[in-house]
Structure 1
Amino acid sequence: MLKRIYEEIIKEHFKENRQMLFISGPRQVGKTTTSLFFKKNSSPIYYFNWDNFEQKELILKGPSEIARIAELSNIKKHKPYIIFDEIHKFSKWKTFVKGLYDTYPNLANIIVTGSARLDFFKKSGDSLMGRYFQFRLHPLSVAELLTPKIIKTEIRKDPKKISDKSFNTLFNYGGYPDPFIKANPQFFNKWQKLRSHLLFRDDLRDLSKIQEVDQMEVLAEMITRNVGNFISYDSYAKNIRISANTVRTWLKTLEALYYCFKIKPYSKNIKKSLLKEPKYYLWDWSLCSNEGAKAENFIASHLLKAVQFWTDYGFGNFELTYLRDKEKREVDFLILKNQKPYMLIEVKKSDQNFSSNLDYFQKQLNAEYVFQVVLDAPYIDESCFKKPNIKKIVPAKTFLSQLI
């Protein structure tokens, strides 16, 4: 079984904090496996899955029943772990976990996991402010495969070489553990089909009241075909025969289900910048059939994982954006750190010629780092981050190994 960086995060969290830990992420990305790794140590563990009928009945009996099962009234050498999986499907889940946390303070380490964004659910009224910290669990990445350990800085000081085989497997089969480990086309195809069915039949039903599942699947396919391109809500609406507002609503639902993610244009201090048009990328980059789009999505997913980890871990407030102006000059990605330009990134599959757009926007933004990341370039054993404020063409294998 692959070791995940998040195992160390969970251990560290409960060593230093009393708050609950909310872990959200795509279906089959490894949330349950990661949260259950405590079976290896001496702490008792109690697992409740809302999708299991018998365990659902126990949850519905209230916090006192969970406390009885976990023997929270008994003196223990090690604090037990109580894990609630998919409990966000319960309309009163916030009230439930708040009641357990408040009634039995500091008597258990409580983990809540979900395959939809936990902040999407507005069904219950009780606030959980101050009672939890969040971590967003991502697919495997280059750096996590090489060194699944927490670092105390944003950037890993030294790069590390990933084998061509592992890199190509990650690129072609995606970062979800099962297809990555198997690396088998037949398994991969069956896995993709099953995941799509569960996403659009089960998860969509649990998350929303959307009935037009077939049309929703058409929208998802359109997003897949147009990864990294600008979204025209009106055009999509016309093709699917729904309103533009419905397209916006459905896209928010697809984001909440971790099918895709959106990045917005950055406009501050940019002459003639675009203020609206978002771009969408897939959580599972292996769905991209176009190699260039897959390369861009592959890097986008690594960057999203990095900025969300850095934010969740407390390094600052990070955001992934992109740049484009009315003259159609564009740079694929701009990372903001505490609302200031931090890292400019242009992605190329194989082109080694430096992008003039990076020069143009860097003169306006003065970002700390400027990179053209080349997917097919061979690994170089030299840190990409040694000298800031210098534009560099860097191999993806080197650059990604220094992230998360």
Structure 2
Amino acid sequence: MRRYIQQELVQHCHDHRQMLFLSGPRQVGKTTLAKAMEASFHTSQYLNWDNQAHREVILRGPEAVAQGLDLDRLQTDLPLCAFDELHKYQHWRDFLKGFFDQYEDRVRVLVTGSAALETFKRGGDSLMGRYFPYTLHPISVAEAFDESPPELIRHEPSRIDDGQWDALWRFGGFPEPFVKASQRFYNRWRRLRTEQMFREDLRDLTRIQELGQVEMLAELLRSQVGQLTSYSSLASSVRVSVDTIRRWVATLESLFYCFTVKPWHRNIARALRKEPKYFLWDWSQVDDPGARAENLVASALLKATHWWTETGLGEFSLHFIRDKQKREVDFLVVRDQRPWFLVEVKSSGSAGLSESLGYFQQQTQAQHAFQVAMDLDFVERDCFEIHRPVIVPAKTFLAQLV
């Protein structure tokens, strides 16, 4: 299936000289997307580090790659060179810097990867100014029925098919299990992906030796999705130091196992400031229905904030709010350092409107405050035209995102 980000990446190649760094979890569709993009270019070359023949070309240096694309020959259009799994090459940054500096006016470059690219994006500057980062997310409600995302909000939402909604809930948003919608396939896919992440990726991309204890930590994070995180409690359970827990959690984030949602405290009296919450990239692994619902919405909001930020619409971030009186709202989306909208997730639409929504909307001056109910039927209306706290169907709210 065509992914929501594909046209943006193709347009980037036409408009900008910078390389594309496409990050995302294992099996989210990065390789498939890279190969699909080749159809948009008259000439292209796909090089996967895991392929021995391709690896030999890369190891011969930038000139060998350029020769395969005939970059010394006058061409009508700029070709595309896609590097897949290149982060497994120890000197991949130096290789890319040399290749880009020599051929930037003759080729467009796409680099896909997971942990190494995401980690590098946050530190080091040897490639500064030479790339733009993008993140490929699992399929969401909005993408399930329309792969062309809105610039910001889809003001005329469409109803997701009931079968697709059920598949997203049961099997998550990773393309293969979502499309197949088979419990037996999903069981096998999940087991294999977990083994690859905690054995191959941890072994190959980190220096961590205590793989069993990291798996134990991951299981603890999975069991407390959406709850305040106590690093000291995790350290006691796994039997390592708090500093080690922090490093291992950061590693699990860099491998796209989980992501952090931090508290927002500006202009909030007696707000919590430190304890974050963690959610999984694959919400189908969350057993508790209430926590899975919260994780599904968190994933959709993270996808939207990444998309809006990475396409240049501003600086967006995802937070939650909780104060010392234990008043809480599940999520706050911040736009250019200003609260934009609040989201409280409920399994049932019969639950009364949360008093915390109105309280924190007044505190933050957020434009919108939504109580998202998972069981309500789709309503064909723009949630974002309402500025008071309101209960909305999840199928409507999520359809307006990316």
TM-score by length of 1: 0.96
Q: Name the CA distance, whole Å, in 2 between partners of 1:42 and 1:317.
A: 31
Q: Name the CA distance, whole Å, in 2 between partners of 1:165 and 1:37.
A: 26
Alignment-derived partner of residue 360 in structure 1: 359
Q: Name the CA distance, whole Å, in 2 between partners of 1:367 and 1:208.
A: 41
Is this contact kept in 2: 1:157–1:383, CA < 8 A? yes
Alignment-derived partner of residue 109 in structure 1: 108
Q: From the superposition, tell whether residues 117 and 282 of structure 1 become closer, same or farther in structure 2 (CA, over 3 Å).
A: farther
Is this contact kept in 1: 2:321–2:332, CA < 8 A? yes
Q: Structure 1, residues 30-89: CA drift from partner, whole Å, max 9, x if none?
A: 011112113434522211111223222221211111111111111122321101111112
Q: How does 1:108-187 map to 2 (within 5 A)?
A: 108-116=107-115, 118-121=117-120, 127-152=126-151, 154-187=152-185
Q: Name the CA distance, whole Å, in 2 between partners of 1:122 and 1:175.
A: 25
1:259 and 2:221 aligned: no
Q: Name the CA distance, whole Å, in 1 between partners of 2:107 and 2:86.
A: 17
Q: Structure 1, residues 359-384: CA drift from partner, whole Å, max 9, x if none?
A: 11111111011100011110001111
Q: Name the CA distance, whole Å, in 1 between partners of 2:96 and 2:123.
A: 11
1:386, CA displacement in angstroms?
1.5
Q: From the superposition, tell whether residues 51 and 9 of structure 1 become closer, same or farther in structure 2 (CA, over 3 Å).
A: same
1:119, CA displacement in angstroms?
3.7
Q: Name the CA distance, whole Å, in 2 between partners of 1:209 and 1:355.
A: 46
Q: Name the CA distance, whole Å, in 1 between partners of 2:40 and 2:282.
A: 32
Q: Name the CA distance, whole Å, in 2 between partners of 1:134 and 1:41.
A: 20
Is this contact kept in 1: 2:23–2:118, CA < 8 A? no
Alignment-derived partner of residue 58 in structure 1: 57
Q: Name the CA distance, whole Å, in 1 between partners of 2:291 and 2:273.
A: 23
Q: Structure 1, residues 235-294: CA drift from partner, whole Å, max 9, x if none?
A: 111111111110000000000000000010001111111110000000000000100000
1:376 and 2:378 aligned: no
Higher mean alpha-carbon deviation, 313-322 vs 72-81, is at 72-81
Which SS does the other structure have where 1:5 is aligned?
coil
1:144, CA displacement in angstroms?
0.9
Q: Name the CA distance, whole Å, in 1 between partners of 2:242 and 2:162.
A: 44
Q: Name the CA distance, whole Å, in 2 between partners of 1:128 and 1:175.
A: 32
Which SS does the other structure have where 1:385 is aligned?
helix
Which SS does the other structure have where 1:327 is aligned?
coil
Q: Name the CA distance, whole Å, in 2 between partners of 1:33 and 1:18.
A: 23
Higher mean alpha-carbon deviation, 76-85 vs 50-59, is at 50-59
Is this contact kept in 2: 1:307–1:320, CA < 8 A? yes
Identity %: 47
Q: Name the CA distance, whole Å, in 2 between partners of 1:38 and 1:137.
A: 14
Alignment length (residue pairs): 401
Q: Name the CA distance, whole Å, in 2 between partners of 1:283 and 1:125.
A: 26
1:175, CA displacement in angstroms?
0.3
1:145, CA displacement in angstroms?
1.4
Alignment-derived partner of residue 274 in structure 1: 272
What is the identity, as a one-letter code, of the residue corresponding to 2:362? K
What is the identity, as a one-letter code, of the residue corresponding to 1:358? L
Q: Name the CA distance, whole Å, in 2 between partners of 1:270 and 1:124.
A: 31
1:122, CA displacement in angstroms?
8.9
Q: From the superposition, tell whether residues 393 and 122 of structure 1 become closer, same or farther in structure 2 (CA, over 3 Å).
A: closer
Is this contact kept in 2: 1:95–1:124, CA < 8 A? no
Which SS does the other structure have where 1:249 is aligned?
helix
What is the identity, as a one-letter code, of the residue corresponding to 2:374? L
What is the identity, as a one-letter code, of the residue corresponding to 2:2? K
Of residues 390, 393, 396, the one that matches 2:391 is 393
Q: How does 1:5-404 map to 2 (within 5 A)?
A: 5-116=4-115, 118-121=117-120, 127-152=126-151, 154-352=152-350, 353-387=352-386, 389-404=387-402
Q: Name the CA distance, whole Å, in 2 between partners of 1:268 and 1:123.
A: 24
Which SS does the other structure have where 2:308 is aligned?
helix
For structure 1, the 5+ residue unaligned runs are none
Q: Name the CA distance, whole Å, in 1 between partners of 2:309 and 2:21.
A: 14
Q: Name the CA distance, whole Å, in 1 between partners of 2:267 and 2:57.
A: 55
Q: Name the CA distance, whole Å, in 2 between partners of 1:332 and 1:124.
A: 30
Q: Name the CA distance, whole Å, in 2 between partners of 1:126 and 1:234.
A: 34
What is the identity, as a one-letter code, of the residue corresponding to 1:272? R
What is the identity, as a one-letter code, of the residue corresponding to 1:357? S
For structure 2, the 5+ residue unaligned runs are none
Is this contact kept in 1: 2:349–2:376, CA < 8 A? no
Q: Name the CA distance, whole Å, in 2 between partners of 1:272 and 1:394.
A: 29
1:12, CA displacement in angstroms?
1.1
Q: Name the CA distance, whole Å, in 2 between partners of 1:276 and 1:293.
A: 21
Q: Name the CA distance, whole Å, in 2 between partners of 1:117 and 1:157.
A: 37
Is this contact kept in 2: 1:117–1:258, CA < 8 A? no
Q: Name the CA distance, whole Å, in 2 between partners of 1:73 and 1:214.
A: 51
Q: Name the CA distance, whole Å, in 1 between partners of 2:124 and 2:390.
A: 50
What is the identity, as a one-letter code, of the residue corresponding to 2:197? L
Please provide the CA RMSD for this pair. 1.5
